[in-house]
Structure 1
Amino acid sequence: MKTVSSIVENYIKTKPFLLNALSLGIINLTSLSRNIMVELESEFGKEVKQGAVVMALKRLTEELDFRLNHKINKVIKNIGEITVRSALTDYTFAASDTVLNKQADLITDIDTFSDIFYTSSRGVNETNIVVSNTVNHLVDKHFANEKLIQKLENLASITVKLPKENIVVPGIYYFIFQRLAWEGIIINEVISTSNEFTILVSENEVDVAFKVIKDLKN
């Protein structure tokens, strides 16, 4: 059964930035309720009292303050080492039966270099490889016969070590990526393990992205 509270909550959940602003308590609930009345009444199928919407928003704001602020902030404040690497190239190849063998050959060659960044991930239809640009020639050589979907150069990586609690608290990545989105940071790739993640951004934006993540701890 639809209720005013459930309709209000479902509406707010579809507006990520509005959701965050509510959690921070920086929105006038009366003005917000007035602006969304038409959409809520359309969803509810009958007239809705503005006072009921305001009360639903108030309850939701209090819940969000706990769910999105207290729990997440506790984890965010314990973010560990933040590592930045520059001069990276991001390759995306179409998946094929020969890609893995090409990767093995590439890794063998890369092992002869010191201090080289290398990571890869395999999706259903694509294989992604990120390397230091000093070994681009090796990727180009070994994957010459593979279908190149995209090649992005002049990228930088930011690797963030997360506390172990990150796997049991929902919204950690949402919280971080939303802050980056607020700053207009374009994330080219996201690579993650259980307790750390790496994002790839343009070298022109890496300083801002690093500051955003670092400032989250404060």
Structure 2
Amino acid sequence: MVSEVVENDIFLANALKRGYANLSQVARMIRPIVRDRLNSEVTEQAILSALKRKRASLPRAENRIMNVLAHSNLSLYGGVVKVVLGTESALQILGDILSGNKIYNIYVTTSPNYVTVIAEAQVIGEFRKDLERKAVHIAEDLSLIVIRGPEELIETEGFLAYLYEKLAMAGVNIEEATNSYTDTLVLLKASQAPRAFQALSDLMENARIRRFD
């Protein structure tokens, strides 16, 4: 039950994993939760022992994450638009966009019912009439941060969660996030882009200084 409580609280799990949490205080804090779920009394000592076991079992991937960050780089693109389309409409419009002679920077993510297209405003502008008629949702005044990492990124557990946590701590709200092989794409409001870019730049610089190999 203690393990379940920890796993359901990502901030607590992270504090335990990094060794920041005072286990005695955590045991006191979660004792009422554990007691209510078990519907019986439980001692702080029993919870403390369970927390120690849980901490020992948590994956410690920080060195691998820092190594990937140290070998990654950032790019920031402004004037980006996000368009959400139904699947059938998307196939037609994407066909029109890609059939021309111009080369565009576009990113596409799909789900069973919708297709999300992230592209420069110039691209969307050329097809705006058709898009406004068929789009489910259009979001403008966005920026896109692209994090390009080494191949090790693919197998590095917790990498994306680490980035999202850093952005959340910086007060950044993510509009959309996805990845394509070793590229991680973070879409956000243009007003938040400088803060997000600085936060991620600082994170990478710190990783390089610490020289994780």
TM-score band, normalised by the shorter chain? 0.7 to 0.9
Name stretches of at least 5 consecutive residues in structure 1 with no aligned partner. Answer: 1-6
Alpha-carbon separation, structure 1, partners of 2:50 and 2:150: 34
Indicate whether 1:137 and 2:125 are aligned.
Answer: yes
Question: SS at 2:50's partner residue?
Answer: helix
| Structure 2 portions without partners, runs of 5+ | 207-213
TM-score (norm 1): 0.83
Question: Cα gap change, 1:86/1:144 in structure 2, threshold over 3 Å: closer, same or farther?
Answer: closer
Tell me what 1:180 maps to: 167
* 2:197 match: secondary structure: helix
| Alpha-carbon distance, 1:158 to partner | 0.6
Letter aligned with residue 107 of structure 2:
T
Root-mean-square deviation (CA), in Å? 2.1
SS of 1:67 mapped into structure 2: coil
Contact persistence 2:83–2:116 (CA under 8 A): yes
Match in the other structure for 1:190:
177
Runs of 4+ deviating beyond 4 Å: none
Per-residue CA distance 1:23-69 (angstroms, 9 max, x = gap)? 232222211111110111233343222112223223433444x5242
- Equivalent in 66, 72, 75 of residue 68 of structure 2: 75
Structure having the larger proportion of residues in helix: 2
Give the percent of matched residue pairs that are identical in Structure 1 and Structure 2: 22
Query: CA shift at 1:145, angstroms?
Result: 4.3
> Hey, what does 1:108 align to over in structure 2?
99
State whether structure 2 residue 24 is matched by structure 1 residue 30: yes
Structure 1 residues 100-152: Cα deviation after superposition (integer angstroms, max 9, x where no partner):
1321212234x447xx5322222211111122112332221343542x21111
TM-score, normalised via structure 2 length: 0.85
Q: How many residues matched?
A: 205
The SS at the match of 1:103 is helix
What amino acid maps onto 1:42 in structure 2? D
Judge conservation of contact 1:189–1:200 (CA < 8 Å) in 2.
yes
